[in-house]
Structure 1
Amino acid sequence: MNGRITSLFNIQYPIVQAGMIWASGWRLASAVSNAGGLGLIGAGSMYPDVLREHIQKCKQATDKPFGVNVPLLYPDIDQLMDIILEEKVQIVFTSAGNPKTWTPVLKAAGVKVVHVVSSALFAGKSEAAGVDAVVAEGFEAGGHNGREETTTMVLIPAVCEQVKIPVIAAGGIGSGKAMAAAFALGASGVQVGSCFVATPEASSHINFKQAVVAAKEGDTSLSLKKLTPVRLLKNSFYNAVKAAEDSGADAAALQALLGRARAKKGMFEGNLEEGELEIGQVSALIHEIKPAATVLADMVAEFRETMQRLKNIDI
């Protein structure tokens, strides 16, 4: 496949593995990169020294391009960026913050920068900040989400109208058919998260992976909107959050309920009742745990079949 994203990152397929907390360590990132996609290490759940270790191990596990995803609101952001530059990481995806802050620094070091957005407005601001591409992430996505609650089907063409840089579609994409739809809407590539959670290489707990595979339509919901909206798999913790929100709890009360390390408890330690389980709506379409390379290969094969089938449709 030749295109703007494959050329930008020097990869075989325009498929990016999302940098998800507690799931995207060096094993997953290197497996995706070795299979022809772009693997990302998720720095959001890593202390600086842990991030350095994962970068170094990823370098040993693959000679293909890989990157790091960095939430810009991370408290140790300066240390994370220093490590990324010291280790000469060539691709950085940023999220949850203002791209103006770090894009010039990264670009000056020759790093390709991509920022994650949930609206056309912020896509335009990201382009003005000098990023090389944007990830447009729709309402269907797992984890932290946009307050606009714009679906991928609407968001992608809106962002493509707004910017001239390449657009990577995210949110609800877990198949070759969805990938073809994203391309039809104007995207140059796709970012996939939930499907890569349900792989042996993901660092998330097996209990969480099995819960993702067992999820059905309607088993996720966007919650904690008074803090930062996040899509969660429904469990006892989600029920407590919903009850608090329904009773009019303010942001401080919700923060107290959330506490610390709630996501780690659920996704990394495997506590399926008290933990925060972040996953996308597409989990309802994930039916088995399979290797990352197989996820990618199946997606590419279905994409090609879909594109061939569409050639025969005439109106």
Structure 2
Amino acid sequence: MSETPSTEGLEALNNAWERGCTFLGTEYAILGGAMSWVSERNLVAAISNAGGFGVIACGAMTPDLLDAEIKATKELTTKPFGVNLITMHPELDTLVDICLENNVGHVVLAGGLPSKDTIARVKEGGAKIICFTPTLALGKKLVRSGVDALVIEGMEAGGHIGPVSTSVLAQEILPNITDVPIFVAGGIGRGEAIANYLRMGAAGVQLGTRFVCAEECVAHPDFKRAFIRASARDAITTVQVDPQFPVIPVRALGNEGSKKFIETQHEVIAKYRAGEMDMESAQLAIEHYWAGALRRAVIDGDVEHGSVMAGQSVGMVKKEQPTSEILQELVTQAADALVNPVGRKVDA
């Protein structure tokens, strides 16, 4: 395959994702998936500077930390970027205010159904709202409530996931919600997949796993090496040991940390049954396991006992590359796929 797309291919691609690019204010309708400890100022700015749309992962940040991160990102890029906020965060309203005070143009709300008040707060502040939907019905409800765009993310993705595959979600939702731009995520590692979802009606895509081995990503070298060595089947989902304690499945590379999570669930549930913890505290303790385990892997490089969250597209991550090179590869592959019929030979 050529290193740059043909004029014909690029024109086809620009037409295919024009709606997404206009919505994001970017050259390419490719969002960087928000990954805790990974999607910080350096990677976010690199994605935006290279033509994509970087997204800061707020996660459990305090308002002061988020304020500092947004300002630091603005020092590295003048291009548009967004902020991903977790709806369950106890200081969500303050975090929204921080985004608006810093003139963040797009706020991504994840981790639960946002309230009407939160949606109104963001929109009145002049920012656009992007939300995730795992079902067609919820997607329609979010659109009615004023959400400006949707992301549909399949179970192939890394981190916390739902039960349905990307391809099924795309078939179910893309033909039936056309009021707002929809971005497809989960299991996307090459441009040919991007082209296919654009053909189906997507406005663009979101990728996370593919950017972990970007040179600008601050993840520990051992974390990146784990990605480069891994195959798709190594990215497995966690096990829920007791239906009484619902745990959102997490996709990560199997290691001792995955086994420890199962042990942690058993330990916490035992304390609950012994009357040492109430239900809410027990469930929080199970969820909090991931926050520390992810940091150990990403920042400290403990890829054996930490949580190496990765999507199934990890098998397509072969080396560390500049962010701009990753995006250019995806764009070239997508553009060529849009103009080359199936079965036609493409330059190697």
Structure 2 length-normalised TM:
0.83
Q: Does 1:161 align with 2:175?
A: yes
Q: Aligned AA for 1:278?
A: M
CA RMSD in angstroms comes to 2.4
Worse overlay, 119-128 or 30-39 = 119-128
Equivalent residue, structure 1, for 2:83 = 68
- Matching residue within 16, 20, 41 for 1:5: 20
Equivalent residue, structure 2, for 1:29 = 44
Cα distance in 1 between the residues matched to 2:342 and 2:314: 29
Equivalent residue, structure 1, for 2:192 = 177
Asked if the contact 2:247–2:287 (Cα under 8 Å) also holds between the matched residues in 1, the reply is: no
**Residue aligned with 1:113, SS:** strand
Structure 1 length-normalised TM:
0.91
Residues 183 and 262 of structure 1: CA distance in aligned 2, closer, same or farther (over 3 Å): same
Asked if the contact 1:66–1:91 (Cα under 8 Å) also holds between the matched residues in 2, the reply is: yes
Asked if the contact 1:224–1:254 (Cα under 8 Å) also holds between the matched residues in 2, the reply is: no
Q: Aligned AA for 2:303?
A: L
Equivalent residue, structure 1, for 2:4 = none
Cα distance in 1 between the residues matched to 2:76 and 2:287: 40
**Residue aligned with 1:174, SS:** coil
Cα distance in 1 between the residues matched to 2:189 and 2:195: 11
**Residue aligned with 2:79, SS:** coil
Q: Does 1:234 align with 2:235?
A: no
- Matching residue within 144, 148, 151 for 1:128: 144
**Residue aligned with 2:206, SS:** strand
Equivalent residue, structure 2, for 1:278 = 309
1:89-238 mapped onto 2 (5 Å cutoff) = 89-101=104-116, 102-146=118-162, 149-164=163-178, 165-225=180-240, 226-238=246-258
Cα distance in 1 between the residues matched to 2:320 and 2:62: 28
Cα distance in 1 between the residues matched to 2:108 and 2:194: 20
Cα distance in 1 between the residues matched to 2:67 and 2:183: 27
- Matching residue within 269, 272, 278 for 2:300: 269
Q: Does 1:15 align with 2:30?
A: yes
Asked if the contact 2:265–2:286 (Cα under 8 Å) also holds between the matched residues in 1, the reply is: no
Cα distance in 2 between the residues matched to 1:122 and 1:267: 33
Q: CA deviation at 1:34?
A: 1.0
Q: CA deviation at 1:239?
A: 2.5
Which structure: larger Rg? 2
Cα distance in 2 between the residues matched to 1:271 and 1:121: 40
Cα distance per residue 1:163-209 (max 9 Å; x no partner): 22111000001210111121133211000100111112223222111
Asked if the contact 1:241–1:254 (Cα under 8 Å) also holds between the matched residues in 2, the reply is: no
Q: Which runs of 5+ in 2 are unaligned?
A: 1-13, 241-245, 271-278
Worse overlay, 105-114 or 302-311 = 302-311
Q: Which runs of 4+ in 1 moved over 3 A?
A: 240-247, 249-260
Cα distance in 2 between the residues matched to 1:121 and 1:230: 24
Cα distance in 2 between the residues matched to 1:242 and 1:220: 16
Cα distance in 1 between the residues matched to 2:284 and 2:40: 29
Asked if the contact 1:43–1:71 (Cα under 8 Å) also holds between the matched residues in 2, the reply is: yes
Cα distance in 2 between the residues matched to 1:97 and 1:85: 21
Residues 245 and 39 of structure 1: CA distance in aligned 2, closer, same or farther (over 3 Å): same
Larger RCO, structure (CA 8 Å, separation 6 or more): 2
Asked if the contact 1:266–1:272 (Cα under 8 Å) also holds between the matched residues in 2, the reply is: yes
| Identity value in percent | 32
Cα distance in 2 between the residues matched to 1:43 and 1:246: 30
Cα distance in 2 between the residues matched to 1:168 and 1:74: 24
Q: Which runs of 5+ in 1 are unaligned?
A: none
Asked if the contact 2:214–2:323 (Cα under 8 Å) also holds between the matched residues in 1, the reply is: yes
